[in-house]
Amino acid sequence: MASVKLYNKTGDAKAQAIQGSLEKSFGKLPEVFQAMGRNGDFLEAMLNLSQACGKGLDAKTKELIIIAVSAVNGCTYCLDAHRSAALLAGATDDEITAAIEVAASISAFNAFNKAIDLNSDLKSPVK
C-alpha cells in the first residue's frame, strides 16, 4: 500500500489530462503516476525529465541503466516496471542480470572507497 495519497484522476485539471493520456498508453494508470497526480506541473516535469535524459542511447541501453540504478537504490517498483520495458526493448534476461551484477559490484567498490577515503589516482586516460 502506498504511503502517500494516490490521485487517480483526482488532482488538478492538468494532472487529470496527463493521467488520461498515460492510462491510454499503459492500459491502466500506474500507481507512480497516481502518486504524482496531485500537481500537473510536477507530473509533466517528471515525464519531461524522463524523456530528456539519455538522448543518444538506444531504448535497451537506457532501460538496462535504469534497472542497474534501481537495483542499487532498492526500488522494486522501478525494477519491475523497467524489466518489462527492457524486455520489450529487446533485452534478454541474461543482459538484465548482467546489468544488475555490474551495478552491485560497482556499488560495493563505491562503498568501500568512500569508507576509506581513497585518493582518486585513476583518471582519464588510464594507462
What pTM does this model have?
0.86
- Is the CB of residue 38 less than 8 Å from the CB of residue 67? no
Asked whether residue 75 is domain-assigned, the answer is yes
Q: Are residues 46 and 76 in the same domain?
A: no
Q: Are residues 63 and 88 in the same domain?
A: yes
Asked whether residue 67 is domain-assigned, the answer is yes
3-state secondary structure of 123: coil
Boundaries of domain holding 44 = 1-52
**What distance in Å separates the CA atoms of residue 6 and residue 32, rounded to the nearest whole number?**
8
- Is the CB of residue 35 less than 8 Å from the CB of residue 7? yes
CATH of the domain at 88: 1.20.1290.10
pLDDT per residue of the chain (127 residues) written in tens, 0 to 9: 778 999 999 999 999 999 999 999 999 999 999 999 999 999 999 999 999 999 999 999 999 999 999 999 999 999 999 999 999 999 999 999 999 999 999 999 999 999 999 888 888 886 6
Q: Are residues 47 and 90 in the same domain?
A: no
Q: Are residues 31 and 82 in the same domain?
A: no
